[in-house]
A and B are shown apart, each in its own frame.
Chain A
């Protein structure tokens, strides 16, 4: 049974090529496309004073590497125009009395205007800006104290010593790519399986099979075994490219990875099989299937939007989005080097899923026999 399926797949090299290349293509697309790292925030500067000191602070923004000056403006209203046209995300407004204030009182105001449409970018850019200003302030305070003979505040400052674990460089790619692998395997795997099996329905060979004394379970396993192998190869491709191409650190054990990937593959194929059996019987169900699979996998699996930040009912819904378990697992294996015992929670979720899906798939098929 599985042997026959293998033969069919081999006779159809185009499908095989698609099955193997598609995940890599999606990987390249999503691996590069999904990034939150904002390196050079386009910045407009409206410097009303244009003094040595104001230029110095602007230079500090540039030399930080986080900002690139896109325009120097002459009017307040130009900021609005530049932002409307999307030419800058942030604008720095330095008042006309900037250096005078600084010289007489030791403090001065400076405005940072953000196009806050994209809140995440705004938050990150604001963080960068505060960093630049804090650095500048340290120098200004030291100079002020020295020239005015003021002793440092009697209360000590706190030195923050942040240490980042697991993803030391805070590179969003390290966080997103393992999730991308999970999402691709979920989408492509289910897709290919459902497609190839539905083709069998169309050609009528499935009816032929039903009429033989092969049991529903045998049919199911026979059908799925070769796709299972392809799924594992796909997973191998994606995981290797994550490490070798995108340079994601891999700290876990291959065994853990293999065991979890196998389990996930079972769920994915089961879903694909279920779709193929169901869709055949219901026109229009495919539309719903599309709507209910793609967006949830992207939005509710936690691969971009952290699940723990969602409202409780949405978190509950995300429990049925099976890729979420694998996203968690892959991330933990890659970045934390977790073993099976650390991962018991998502593993239990995935196992429950596997059991339910296989049961449903076997049942759905038997119904078609009637």
Chain B
């Protein structure tokens, strides 16, 4: 068993060594993607393009506008006195938010009455709209507070105490609410999955196409030996991938890593085994590289979308939630995020680790069983 396995391994590494482009193909796309997606994947809302229609032209309205100009959350692109400008800005997506300050705004406020402030949001991107509206109400609240404290000083009254409950938000695990912390671990998992699944599937299909697979199949080698020989190198490559992109996340994107590296290694290993299982399974269904390519496309995309990478699994319908149960990426994302950001250990993560182990076992077994028959 070990003799055959070791010659298989030796052969794989020799081939890899001879392939001068291999290192390039393995590493460069990974780093480029890590960089691009690390920056691209964000729900953070900054510099919301804002148009302001000031029909009041009072000190109060100008002060309100200056509150918007001062924050980086909003980017005031247009201050106008023409109502049509606002409609045009929103229609052409020059602005996402338009604020209408009606005539008499300052006077009404000065009289101690409440003044309406109209806000128009382009809801096309509901997420941005929702978050921008939240920021907007914070700024308006800030403005009101400034106004009342100024009024209080002016009248030399005692400051009016704040009435009501003050909600103190405590975001744990990610105090800066930096959503890169959320996405980068996800990008690490997704890139590894893509890389490993396609490498494995293509490696076996290529042997099939070239004819060497047939030559090996007439030998008394056992399917387990062949499959192990094929997968061990990719397992090692996968571990290298994870280490590389993780290092990138930690040192380039400054994601905190507070967990136990051993748990990470265990999670990564189980995840890689499951990913290898998927790749092997795909390879037993494809005769040509093109077919492998197509299968890859159809299977990996849902795996990635339905993993909780960006879209909370809790927000999916029940049926799809069930589907995610057989998705190894789902479990790995839980593990990798927990290890990076929460620093939790085995006692919490064991169900996810066990699920990945089970999936890996099932998929590897099925592909070994299917392998022998697959020339028929």
> Touching in the complex, A and B, CB below 8 A?
yes
Task: Answer yes or no: A365 CB below 8 A from chain B CBs.
Answer: no
A160 contacts B136, C-beta separation under 8 Å: yes
B25 contacts A191, C-beta separation under 8 Å: no
**Contacts of A113-170 to chain B: CB distance below 8 A:** 113-124, 126-127, 129-130, 133, 136-138, 140-141, 144-145, 150, 152-170
Additional pairs, 16, CB under 8 Å, beyond known A167-B126, A313-B39: A29-B302, A85-B348, A106-B161, A109-B168, A121-B312, A123-B177, A133-B164, A159-B116, A159-B117, A166-B124, A167-B124, A287-B25, A289-B293, A295-B194, A295-B304, A306-B45
B29 contacts A117, C-beta separation under 8 Å: no
B126 interface neighbour in A114, A141, A174, A309, Cβ under 8 Å: A174
Task: Answer yes or no: A69 CB below 8 A from chain B CBs.
Answer: no
A114 contacts B170, C-beta separation under 8 Å: yes
Given contacts A123-B177, A298-B304, are A164 and B129 in contact (CB under 8 A)? yes
A309 contacts B172, C-beta separation under 8 Å: no
Given contacts A120-B179, A153-B112, A161-B117, are A33 and B172 in contact (CB under 8 A)? no
Please report B residues at the A interface, Cβ cutoff 8 Å: 21, 25, 29, 33, 36-37, 39-47, 49, 90-93, 108-131, 133-134, 136-137, 140, 143-144, 147-148, 151-152, 155, 160-175, 177-179, 181-182, 190-191, 194-195, 198-199, 202, 206, 288-294, 296-298, 300-302, 304-306, 310-312, 314-317, 319-320, 334, 337-338, 341-342, 344, 348
A38 contacts B115, C-beta separation under 8 Å: no
Name the residue in B91, B191, B199 with the highest tally of chain A Cβ atoms < 10 Å from its Cβ. Answer: B91
* B residues less than 8 Å from A198 (CB atoms): 288, 290
* B residues less than 8 Å from A6 (CB atoms): none
**Contacts of A14-67 to chain B: CB distance below 8 A:** 22, 26, 29-30, 32-39, 42, 57
A113 contacts B170, C-beta separation under 8 Å: yes
* B residues less than 8 Å from A164 (CB atoms): 120-123, 129
A73–B163 Cα gap in the complex (Å)?
28
A121–B312 Cα gap in the complex (Å)?
8
A110–B47 Cα gap in the complex (Å)?
31
Given contacts A137-B163, A157-B114, A299-B41, are A191 and B119 in contact (CB under 8 A)? no
Nearest 4 pairs between A and B by C-beta?
Answer: A167-B123, A137-B164, A116-B171, A119-B179
B124 contacts A335, C-beta separation under 8 Å: yes
* B residues less than 8 Å from A154 (CB atoms): 112, 148, 151-152, 155
Chain B residue at smallest Cβ distance from A53: B165
Task: Answer yes or no: A83 CB below 8 A from chain B CBs.
Answer: yes
A198–B113 Cα gap in the complex (Å)?
73
> A17 CB to closest chain B CB, in angstroms?
14
A33 contacts B182, C-beta separation under 8 Å: no
A155 interface neighbour in B147, B182, B310, B338, Cβ under 8 Å: B147
A199 interface neighbour in B90, B290, B311, Cβ under 8 Å: B290
* B residues less than 8 Å from A296 (CB atoms): 36
Task: Answer yes or no: A258 CB below 8 A from chain B CBs.
Answer: no
* A residues less than 8 Å from B306 (CB atoms): 29, 33
* B residues less than 8 Å from A110 (CB atoms): 165-168
A231–B262 Cα gap in the complex (Å)?
49
Chain A residue at smallest Cβ distance from B143: A158
A175 contacts B125, C-beta separation under 8 Å: yes
> A46 CB to closest chain B CB, in angstroms?
12
A287 contacts B166, C-beta separation under 8 Å: no
A294 interface neighbour in B125, B134, B160, B297, Cβ under 8 Å: B297
A57 contacts B165, C-beta separation under 8 Å: yes
Name the residue in B46, B182, B195 with the highest tally of chain A Cβ atoms < 10 Å from its Cβ. Answer: B182
A91–B289 Cα gap in the complex (Å)?
51
> A260 CB to closest chain B CB, in angstroms?
16
Task: Answer yes or no: A232 CB below 8 A from chain B CBs.
Answer: no
Given contacts A137-B164, A154-B112, A336-B124, are A117 and B131 in contact (CB under 8 A)? no
* B residues less than 8 Å from A130 (CB atoms): 134, 167
Given contacts A112-B167, A117-B181, are A170 and B123 in contact (CB under 8 A)? yes
One digit per residue, 1 when the CB lies within 8 angstroms of any chain B CB and 0 when it does not, for chain A 168-188 equals 111110110000000000010
- Of A212-220, A237-245, A278-286, A355-363, which stretch is located at the interface? A278-286
A144 contacts B163, C-beta separation under 8 Å: yes
> B73 CB to closest chain A CB, in angstroms?
12
Given contacts A123-B131, A168-B123, are A22 and B298 in contact (CB under 8 A)? yes
B129 interface neighbour in A159, A170, A298, Cβ under 8 Å: A170
B169 contacts A126, C-beta separation under 8 Å: yes
B120 contacts A107, C-beta separation under 8 Å: no
Task: Answer yes or no: A317 CB below 8 A from chain B CBs.
Answer: yes
B126 contacts A171, C-beta separation under 8 Å: yes
B127 contacts A287, C-beta separation under 8 Å: no
B42 contacts A305, C-beta separation under 8 Å: yes
A119 contacts B43, C-beta separation under 8 Å: yes
Chain A residue at smallest Cβ distance from B190: A295
Task: Answer yes or no: A105 CB below 8 A from chain B CBs.
Answer: yes
A156 contacts B174, C-beta separation under 8 Å: no
A141–B314 Cα gap in the complex (Å)?
36
> A140 CB to closest chain B CB, in angstroms?
5
Task: Answer yes or no: A13 CB below 8 A from chain B CBs.
Answer: no
B112 contacts A155, C-beta separation under 8 Å: yes
A279 contacts B301, C-beta separation under 8 Å: no
Task: Answer yes or no: A291 CB below 8 A from chain B CBs.
Answer: yes
A33 contacts B164, C-beta separation under 8 Å: no
B337 contacts A107, C-beta separation under 8 Å: no
A291 contacts B342, C-beta separation under 8 Å: no
B315 interface neighbour in A38, A108, A168, Cβ under 8 Å: A38
Given contacts A107-B166, A286-B289, A311-B39, are A36 and B127 in contact (CB under 8 A)? yes
A166 contacts B289, C-beta separation under 8 Å: no
Q: List 19 contacting pairs A-B, 8 Å CB cutoff, sorted by A.
A: A22-B298, A29-B306, A84-B344, A111-B170, A113-B171, A126-B134, A155-B112, A158-B140, A160-B136, A167-B126, A167-B129, A191-B294, A287-B25, A287-B198, A289-B293, A294-B194, A309-B46, A317-B36, A342-B91
* B residues less than 8 Å from A102 (CB atoms): 165
> B34 CB to closest chain A CB, in angstroms?
11
Given contacts A290-B297, A305-B40, are A155 and B151 in contact (CB under 8 A)? yes
* B residues less than 8 Å from A123 (CB atoms): 43, 131, 134, 177
A116 interface neighbour in B140, B177, B292, B344, Cβ under 8 Å: B177
* B residues less than 8 Å from A310 (CB atoms): 39-40, 42
A44–B314 Cα gap in the complex (Å)?
16
